[in-house]
Structure formats: structure tokens, C-alpha cells
Chain A
């Protein structure tokens, strides 16, 4: 393939890629993943498309805690006393109000929760998240996050893929495409589904136009949680015998495709044969990964596995699984929220009950996860990101809900090169708009890739006539939250 010396200025030139190398070496277009898989036996951990990291990585794995529906920033990490002063006033008399999803603008609504400073950093956290408050010195809270989309689906795609439209690869897919996986027997991008698939569906976790190897594997937090991972045969021997016959046939078939001399079998065929071996191993590996029975009682209790609330128990299992996956070298783990019966974090009404129950489900497990990672020495190399797709309005929708607000919301990061105990950015007196250090989703993605040792401008894939990146045509690393700003 001819290299372009320059191209659409919105996209930076890609380096000579591993894919190109493979292609020149005679592999087919889609054989990359397979080639990588084939070489697993020799090299622990398959390579991604990047021949080398762009700079030293601080993190090797990501755990993305996805707060589906949009947590209210003014009720979680961005206290706004002014809301109490102006309670009940028409927000339009106080500031300019933009169109919202429901356009049912109520009065200024103070937070029903108190905020307290926690830890040495004294970062204020609302009473919704007392456990997270306990690990606040590990967090860098970004109060100035923004999104481009006020609707769930577009915003979800945007948060996951850097584009508001369907079909682009998810950040987990990009990460694996760039870095490869560290475990032969497990997918590199796993979504642990707590019960809610976000609006926009499974395409939030898609590989898009990247090879299917990089798609998110959706796993449920129970031992048979991966599609088709459970053999249907009555005994392993029955299946093994089938696969033995198949393998025998396949080698025969491959041999017949060389007409003269010692032409190797086509790569696609070799890879397909190797894949079957991998699949066979996954049948054993995945269920054992998902089996939490070996965890100690103390660990289970710390995560909340014994909670009175089912949703807390589910999210506790998710967090525990996330740690186990990171231990096993899974590159990117995403957790989705359990169903608390409140339609995700999307509290257009019943703010108090909805946010309380959602927070109760995730608060203890998340805090336990961070402590556990720290305790095991994994937090330094694991980037934990907590984010919804947007925030909520500081004024009411109706009387007791909040509408979508993409103009300002809070996210936090921890571990993996992130400077704990940090607050970055600020919103106005009402928490409605960002006034300082505005950050975008592209910036968040750029920062995540940066910590993984990737320059977001140089992780590209040519599709549809363009070299496309996770950060589209934007993105700046948010250096203020990094331990080491110099890289």
C-alpha cells in the first residue's frame, strides 16, 4: 500500500504500522490478529499495531467504571452552596439556560446531600459516596468535563468511541488495537455487564471498523458469563474427540492447498486452526476467571459481596472480577451498572431515591477495588476511570428530577500515573457550565491513551478514506492530573 506523505489535516500521519509490515510479509488484511495469536506460544502477550510505545507507560490496564445515565455533578463531587441560596428561583432569571432534552425547566434545586471534606487532600464528596470519600486521596477529580451531546445514545457513543454516531471503535478496542493483549487465553477488552446495557446498545463496545479481535467481550458476572463458552457436550472427552477429528481434517485440508514444493498454508487458514485451540482453552480459562469462590471471606466482605442489597452484591462481584481480570493481563475492563430499578443514573425525577440507590450499589465496591488494587501493588499500573456520559442540570426537571447537562460534569481518575488528591477545573456558581480548565471527552481519551504510553495522535486506522483516531480531530492530554507532567 502506498504511504501518504500527508493527508487530511484533521488526522495525523500514521507511523509505518505493524499491520503494514505484516501485509508486506504476505499476510492478508485481517490476519493481523490471527498472526498475533499464532505467535502467542512463543511470546507471552501479543503485540498490538504499535511497534513500540510512544513513551513510557504509567498504566498497563484500564478499569472503566461507567456510570450509565449521567451522575449529577452537584450531588456528587462538585458542591454548590449557591443552589441552596437560590433554591426555588427560576434559573432563567439567574443565567442563560440552554435547550434540554425534556425542555421542562423547573426551579433551582439544591443538592439533597451534604458534602464533607475527606482525606488529607480534603476533597469534598457528598454523602452519596462515603466509601469513595475514604479513598479520595487516590483520586484526581475533574470537575470541568464536558460532552457534545445532550442525549444518551449520542453521548454514550461519544464517551465510548469519540464520535456521537454509531459504528466507531470503542476505546477498549482502540487500546487493544494499539497495545495488544497480555493474556493468551482471554479477550483483551472485557465488559462486565451488571445488568444494564446503555442506550445505543452493544455498539458502545464495538470494534467498529477495527478487526473483530478487538471488540468488547460482554461477560456477565457469573461463571458461564461469556457467550458460547460453555460446551454443550456431556463430557469434555466428547468435545475433545470432535476437535481432534476436526484438527486432523484441517491439517489434511491445509496440506492439499500446496500444489508444489512446500508452500505454507494460507495464513487465514492457519489462524483459523489456531483459533480453535485458543477457543478451547478459553472454555476452561474464562469460567475459572469468573469463579469468585477462591476469594477470601474478608475480600468478599470488603467489596460488599455480603451486602443486604442485591445491586451492591452485583457490583461488588463486577469490581472483584475487574481486579481478577487486570491480574490476568486483560487490557481494558469496563463495568456497567446494575439495575437498581431507577433507570440507570438518569433521574429525570425521583432524584433522591434514584441517586441514593445507585450510589449504594457502587460506592462500597469501588472503594474496595481501589484499596485492593493498592494493597496488591496493582494500582500503580491500573488506571481507574469513573465517568458518566454527561452531568445533570442544577435546576429541576419538574419538581424532583434533573435533566441532562453535557456542559459540565465531574469525572475522576485514579492509579496508573494519576496524581491523587487533585481537583481540576471549576464550574460556575451553579455547576451548570465550566469556567476553568474545560476538558472534553477527547481530552479524557487522550489522557487515558497517554498513560498507557500512546500518543493519541499516532494511534490511527485507515478506514473510509481517512486515518481515524479515537480522539477524532481533537484531544489534549490533561497534564494537570498526571503524577509526571513532563512526558
Chain B
């Protein structure tokens, strides 16, 4: 026993320096580096070990503590630098623990004076002599989070002098009494305590301290130590995801380096953002593979409270194991697992109100009519009659007879100023070493901003409610067998007006302010002869639709350690079953429609009935649903031999996904994939890292001999800061790693509509035809619809070079990655076939090639100022540009029209030179079709043929998807107060304006609202070039003004203050205990608080068009969080 105790400090020391690699001989003690404490007493590296003297210097410098101690007796003692960050009492406690292991103990003299003296067991005899007699021998194995045995973990029975450390196999043996507490501690890991009951054999995993070098990250099909990780991946702090939004996808852009996202709608239940990893690199499906707890699942409806970790895998080294599924990057989400200990309950509730970030606004009735007259006059100079008479405009202004002369502000009629949302979550976690649990229930409720007709006999409000539940159980069945079980899901219900919100928005943009009132004064529903219906009627009098979705995810995993066969070997198998169901029930109707004709001699309104309504609610239903089976089995190996760290993994998996409510033959066929994945890693001395991955898998949608592909990747890493020569620099740069990877990944989701490229399909052809004297014979058409071709997956060759760096005492960390990707064999229709060949549809092929490149990175800074201040800041960015190398298309006639060599989704259009100044300007310019007058847009004649046409269309602007996405946030905390903000921004993006409602008087005079911006236009009196609209015409397509041109491309970049958070955690008070409380926090979250953009017409993130989408929401929430012991 004594010998063991003597060795202890040495063990601690050795393991500490080498960060988990293990010494073969004790002679390598010389690796201990010298002072890591500067003269000012600052510690450079928090995860290092310091000598006792260094500690004393530090504590004196920082806290003016004085020590009396024997230098000889303590010379072998090393103390984790991290201990210095603890609270005062804890420092003393930890020091005492460490010293006791070396036969010493700490005695407090005064608050600032301490003495180190030889250890004397002062523990009084336990008051339970019975227990004393139940002395048992405990054995166990301690592993790190990867399952690798930990050598040198200190095992201590609290309050006794019984202590030991684990051997090379991670094993220990110790004598304890029932009821005593065993404490396990190791540098870089969270100290664990276990109360001894009946069990005498333990298999314990140590949890690494966050930020330390033992930190473990989730990678494809497993975990890795962060330090030895070569693949490019980013993670986000889970706390950042806890925003008052229903859909997790909305908060991701700007928070993870490498993730590009845009949100195009704020409609409750339909507001998911589109997300791409490192941009879009293909013409086909570019959605990343999303895995929740290892199974392909959608994450939109997960309660962020239940997420343990969220990371994205970006390069080939990280994604090759997914083979044919991984080319678009992978999102890995792990849900929370139980933690050993007494049950801990956490309750949260927040409630807030929502409002639109930005609403488009329209001109009022009189302005509308004056503008219409102006446009009409401009197009019909000879006409003596204005479009709208003076009297009518006057009557509209007066508002004297809104039935005949309406002046409707549709936005005001349709929308409330605010909506509501609230979120609640309760979770509980706890358990023993052998059984841990995490249970959670969440609730989200959002009420939209549409108005409701109070008189209607049904509820047509827009509302989305969701209940989530998650449960995770982790059981140790035997000493070597573990069972994990998880079940989670949600139930969501939505209520919507009978007319789809898209259609309602569209109608608002179509309806002029003078066309009709929301409702006639006698309650009649206004419907124009053309069928155009009052949007207010569509909203409130067309019934309602309910939507119900539920989802169940379940997974069970069995892990068997095979240490008895080969140390470090284990096998695991998993099965999961997921099911999703949705049904929509519509109870819709149309009401009788009327158009007002005028007033009769008695002043009574005269109506023409324009529509016969159904008037009573009708019924319709729709279903959707799917189910998925997933099976996985793998063998894992992880071990260390001296300086050599080795791991290996080989895994089989298969997925079977069935669209349970498929609407056609092709989509009813199960979606399946199957394959094996493997990984081998080798690390030498935590300096040189080597990794090889592969995926060999296939999918059901290719021809039998083309189903399986092999996707290998290789990676190299070099931890420069662990080199001897770096020792001096390491005072400044505490950590430096460079890594590079290259590999291939595939994408089998090449087409949603045309899954089986290798099979010809027969369809309806062009159309049917009828014969017969009395039209009696109708034949449906029939023809080949798709030709069979030999197709396969598309392939991405990805290169990644990354650099990780920490400096300023580890306060500042920087990760930057450069990447490039060649996506080849992109599934495209062959577009170089002349039309006269007469193909019903152009055959597909693996034809496209896209080259994508870019940079992404993260910079984090975190520091403590004095005792109470903690400041942290974080920023990250992504820039990428994908360029088309081959699009299987014929060459365009002119070089400026070529798509090859240009950005993917590059916009093309005419180049606007400005507005024509006068007739002479028009005469001297190339011919433009239509009626051209001063104030019309003047275009550039690129091919010099004297006329403006499509041959003059050249690249304009960037595109609808930003090339640059960035985010920056900071958090400041002082005692219990915390304040934080997060900005998200995008750049190299633009908005193209078009569409009816944006374009004035496009189709007909009774259609098409006018945006407020129309007032900023060219007129003969205001012949300015600096306007939004050119000369107004009636109709607006009488010339080329509204052709696709650079005039209508506006800068779409913006910076959004996405979150603003403030919270206060109450200091512990006595009444906490009464209620069993351990913590209470109140907080405020502002979401989408402010947006800064040059673009003002609507919420710029909605993108192209006329802004006729349900806008994004801002919300302000107040919440409270209660933690119970």
C-alpha cells in the first residue's frame, strides 16, 4: 500500500504531461517542462500541470495566500493548473486531495495562510460500526469517453487514507466500506464520486472537462478526442440554439462555420430554413445528411432543450464513412443522456409576443388612382379621358361611400400587430452508474398574426402547437454489456385559414386599394367579375384547415466490450424504428360573391352576383406519413501502446424508408441503402496523426451492377505545439495544429422525381385525345416519359486544409479551414440534344461538374476579469463560391451568356445603363422593343447588333443564395447577471424584384397593388436617375422596362441582431431549500430584434420576387428557469 502511495504523484505527473498517452518507462520524467508560471503568476495553459512551487507563486500573486511547506516533500507533486480557476474553498479541498495522495495534507492557519504537513488520519471512527465490518474489495476499470482504458486515475475513498491509481489497463482495486464515497479524479476530466453500495465491480467512464485536451467530439459513427481529430467539423454551443422559435433550422446560419442558410418564410409550422454545408455544390439535391442519434432524421421539430451536441461534418475525412450519402455534408445531433446522481429537475417557461420583422406597404387609394392616371396618360397621350375621374378620386379621399369608392389598406385589414409564442420544457435526469436516465417534455405554441372574423362560427386563426418528449436510458446490464434506449417524438397541431397563406398573400399583392372593401357594409363578400376575391374574405370566410403531425423515434443500442478477447475491442449493434404521420383536414367553403354596380334612385346598393358559393363547410382530407428501419452493427477497437494510439472501426448499416402515403408507384417503392464503413486512426505521441476512412455502400436507385461505390478518404494532422522545438513559442501560442484531408464522397439523392434512372418509364405523353361522333371515346395519352440510361451517384472529391490555434493563455482560439471540392457526375438532363430529335424528355446522365471552394473559420475569445466578470465572444464565417465546369448544355451564342466557368445559380439579365433622358437619347441608342419614351430603362447592347434582346443578357448580381455568411456574438456575465447578443449577416447576395404587385399595372387595372416605393419614380417633373421605378406605363409590359435586368437587382446583404439576451440567476437563498430549488434564473430573449440592410421593401431574407411571403418574425420573450435538486 505504501509503495503504491509513493508512486502516485509520479503517475499523476506522467499522465498529465502526455495528455492521455502513456509512458512505457519511468525514465521519461525528464519531459516535464519548466515553469509555466510567469513572474506575474499567470498560468499559461489551464490544462497543464504545475509544480507545487509554481502553485505557491501563483496563489501568492493572485490571492496573497502564504504557504508554509517543505520543498523536498513536495517536489514531486504536480497540480493541475485548472485547479487554480476554482473557488477558494474548492482549491483548498482539491489541494488537500492531491496532497493526501502524496502523504501530505493542508492545514488552514488563517484565511490567507496555510501549512503543508504530513498526513494524519484525523477521521474519527465512523459512527456506524456495522458498516465498518462490511469491508469489501472493489475492483473496476476506468475508461475515457472513447472507451479506452485510463491509466493513472486517482481513486480515493473520501475521508480515509485508502487511495490507489489505475494501472495500464485502467484497472484498480481498493478496499471500501458500504456507504463510503469513492472519488475518481484525473487531470482534464470531471471528478466523479460514487457511493459504495453492493456492487463490487465497476466499469466507469470518465467525462472530460469541456475545453480541455481530453475533450471528445462526436464524429461519424463514433467519437474522437478533439486533439486527434483531423476531419473538418464545427459545433455550436447548445445554449445558443435555445431561441424562441419553433424550428431549429432558423437559428443555425452564422453560428457554425461552414453552414449557409436562408429562411424564406415565417409562417408558423412552415418556416424551416434551407441549409447547406459549405454552400451548394450540385445541380441536384444539396441538402446535408442529418443524423439524430446516428439515424437519418429531420431535426426541424426537435426541442433544442433536448440537444446534447450539434455539429456539422464538412470534409471528406469526416464524411467518407457515409459514402454515397455524405457528399453534401452531415449534421450530427445527439440528444441528452442521463447523468449519474440524484434526480435533477429543470423547469423552463417563456412567453412573448411576436411581430413581423418588416411588412411591405402599399399606396392608399387616391394615390393609386393618381398613379394609374399618370401611367395611363403616359401610355395613351391621345386619350382625353383619365382612367379614374376626378370625382371618383375625390370620393375615395372623402371615404364618403366605401362600398362604391373603397380605400382599403389591406395590410391593416388582414393582420394583427402582434402574435404570441411560448415555450415550456421540463426535464429530469439522474441515475446510478448502472442505470441513468434523461426524460423531457416540451411544449411550443405559436399564434400567427392573421386576423379572425369574430362572427365566424369556426376558428380560422393561424396557430401551431407542439409537444415534444424525449427519453434516454442507459443501462449497464453486465460489467461488459451496455444497453442504451432512446425514444422521442412530437405531436404537433396546426390551425390555418381555409385558404392557404401563400394564396392569401398573393391576393393582397393582387388587390388594389380601390378595387373593393374588405366586406360590403351589408356583409356581402366582394368578388370581382374576374373571380378575384377580397383577401379578407379569403382569410375569414373560407373555412379552416387543421393539420396534425406526430412522430416517434426509437432506438436501442447494445454495446459489448470484448476486452476479454482483445483489449480495447468492443462490438455494438443498434436498431431503430421511426414513424411519422400527418393528416390534414380541410373544412372549407366559398361564400356567395358580389360586385357592386352602383346605387339606385333610393340610394340602395345594387349588386351583381359574381359567384355562387357553397356557403357551408365542405370536407377534404390529406395524409402523409413514413416509416424507417435502421440497423447498424459495428466492431470498434481503440488502444494505446506507448506513444502509439490506434483505433479502428468497421460498421455495417442499412436503412429502409417507406413513404407510407406515397401517391405514385415510384415513390411507393422503399428507399433503401446499405453498406459498410470503416475507419482506422493512428497517432504518434499526440504529434503526428493519421486517419483513413472509407464508406462502401449503395442505394436502391441505381442499376444492379452500379449500386455500390467505394469512397475512401485520408487525413494527416500535426500538433505542432507538442513538438520540442515549439516549447519556447508555446508560451505565446499554446496550441497549434495543422491538418489536411482528401477523399471522395457520394450523393445518391440525385433526383426526387426520377429515382430509377436505369429504367424507362411510361407516362401520359403529351395528352389524350377524343374521338366519336358524340365525343364518346376519350383515350388517355401514353408514351415513354423517361428513357433508360446508365446512371450512378455523383461524386465529390474534397480537399480540406485546416489550422487550429490557441493563444493568449488559451483565451483566444482560432480555427480556419480552406476547402475545395470537385463534384463530378452530377445527375443532369442531357441538354445538348436538338428538339427535332423529339425526345419526350431529355435523358439524364452523370454529366455535370461543379467546382466549389471557400474558407470558413471560427474565432473564440473568453476571459475572466477579476473575480466576477466573464466575457466571451465568438465569431465565425463562411465564404464559398461554386463554379460550373460542365452543365451538359450546348454552348451559348455569345461569351457573356456562357454558364460554364460562372458561379452556380448566377443571375443573367440585361445590363441597365440608366433611364433614357430624352427622345434624342432614345434615337441614338440601340433599338428596344415596345413603346420607348424618356424615363424608360436604357440597356446595353452587348453584341452590338443595334437592338436589345436576349443575346445581350450577361451575368448580373450574385444570386439568391449568399456566398458569405457570418455571425458574431458576445456574452458578458457578472455575478448572476448575464447579457449577450448575436448578430448574423450575409453578403454577396442580392434580391431580384419582379412579380405582379411589384410591377405596376402588369396584367389588368383591377389587379395588382402598388408598393409604396412606386412613389419614388421617374416622371417628367422629376427626371431623376436615382429612382426605384422608371416611367410608369399602362400596361407595364408595353416595353422592356420590366425585362430581367440589372435595374431590378438590389443588394441583398444584411446584418441582423438575431438575439439579444439578458438573464439574472438569483443568488442562493434559504427559501430555495424549502422548495427544493437549487437555482432560479429569469431571462429575456429578443429574437430578430433589428435588421440592417440597404434593402427596405420587405424583409430582405425572404429574397426574390415581390415580398409576398409570410414575413419572418421578431419576438420578445420573458422566461424563467427553475432547477431542482
Is chain B found bound to chain A in the same assembly? no
User: Measuring CB to CB, which residues of chain A are less than 8 angstroms from any residue of chain B?
Assistant: none
User: Measuring CB to CB, which residues of chain B are less than 8 angstroms from any residue of chain A?
Assistant: none
